[in-house]
Amino acid sequence: MVVWSEQERSIINSIFASLDYDDIGPKALCRCLIVYPWTQRYFGGFGNLYNAEAIKTNPMIAAHGIKVLHGLDRAVKNMDNIKATYAELSVMHSEKLHIDPDNFKLLADCLTIVIAAKMGTAFTADIQAAFQKFLSVVVNALGRQYH
Amino acid sequence: MSLNKTDKERVKAFWSKVAGKADAIGAESLARLIVVYPQTKTYFAHWKDVSPNSPNVTKHGKTVMGGVANAVDKIDDLKGGLLELSELHAFTLRVDPANFKLLTHCILVVLAAQFPADFTPEVHVAMDKFLAAVARALAEKYR
């Protein structure tokens, strides 16, 4: 069972309360597709991903980035039970989307970096630690139902 | 996943922008490593004070970043250029190479936080590839 300190809960809630999903979502997904190009394998039907510019201006990718980021909302609301909260989503990522769970960590790392760029020096080491702990629990939960 | 011409150009161009702050970047990166990945503190058991803002951490961050700066200079032959450093890490320090990835991540976070406009996705991928190549060169002599 994951144990969250009051400080960690406060940090996570604060980050998501002031999060601009429409900005951060697309940026995180684009960065993932550019920095780890093999992740593009899951986006065959998303149009032009030919180069970084194409990815950054692709509206389907942007929309999907927002969707994926909102996917984290339920974890924020259910921090004490992320495993159960994401059981169905995990099955979906395995059975329907067939995504290699190693990719979850790649997107999580890109999200961390995008948030760091947004918050600048306000993204302290303690905040980074709490945020990465949260994301690693989410990543773990999403990979749990694979078999 | 080796460095192509564009990667090297991007790394050198970005490095010229950030080199002036290398000491601070190094200190910040090492401080984050210790806080975010507490298991890395095991390598610093010989320091009484391993807190993020301690003089030891600050000084060592500077040393490490100096190594990165040197690697930028040797970017065309990292294996050869970092040979001595690899021997140091392999035979004396014996840092588990898995930790290179953790420090790389912390360096990238610091670069993003301090240079948000310059640390574009294109620069990010070049720097990630570069630091991974540095890590490989450092691990060269391990076995």
Q: What is the ipTM of this complex?
A: 0.87
Predicted model pTM: 0.92
Residue A147: predicted pLDDT? 86
> Are A129 and B124 in contact (CB < 8 Å)?
no
The C-alpha atoms of residue A111 and residue A107 are separated, in whole angstroms, by 6
The C-alpha atoms of residue B137 and residue B51 are separated, in whole angstroms, by 29
For the cut 90, the answer to whether the pLDDT of residue B1 exceeds it is no
C-alpha torsion B115→B109→A118→B55, nearest 10: -80
DSSP annotation of B129 reads: H
A42's tokens? 């899951």
How many CB atoms are located within 10 Å of the residue B132 CB? 16
The C-alpha atoms of residue A23 and residue A113 are separated, in whole angstroms, by 14
Within a domain: residue A100?
Answer: yes
Q: Sorting pLDDT into bands at 50, 70 and 90, what band is B104?
A: very high
pLDDT tens track for B49-95 = 999 999 999 999 999 999 999 999 999 999 999 999 999 999 999 99
Within a domain: residue A16?
Answer: yes
Q: Is A51 on the interface with B (CB under 8 A)?
A: no
DSSP string for chain A = -----HHHHHHHHHHHHT--HHHHHHHHHHHHHHHSGGGGGGGTTS---SSHHHHHT-HHHHHHHHHHHHTTHHHHHTGGGHHHHTHHHHHIIIIIS---THHHHHHHHHHHHHHHHHHGGGS-HHHHHHHHHHHHHHHHHHHTT--
Domain extent, residue A127, equals 6-143
pLDDT tens track for B18-44 = 999 999 999 999 999 999 999 999 999
Nearest to B103 by CA among B48, B61, B59: B61
- Best residue in A36, A56, A126, A128 to probe B by mutation, most B CBs within 10 Å? A128
Q: In which residue are the tokens 């507490």 written?
A: B38
Residue B95: predicted pLDDT? 93
Using an 8 Å CB-CB cutoff, list chain B residues near A116: 109-110, 112-113
The C-alpha atoms of residue A70 and residue A65 are separated, in whole angstroms, by 9
Q: Is A92 on the interface with B (CB under 8 A)?
A: no
Residues of chain A with pLDDT under 50: none
Nearest CA in chain A to B29: A125
Within a domain: residue A93?
Answer: yes
Q: Could you confirm whether domain B5-139 is CATH 1.10.490.10?
A: yes
Domain count, chain A: 1
> What's the CATH number where A130 sits?
1.10.490.10
Mean pLDDT over B42-47 rounds to 92
Within a domain: residue A1?
Answer: no
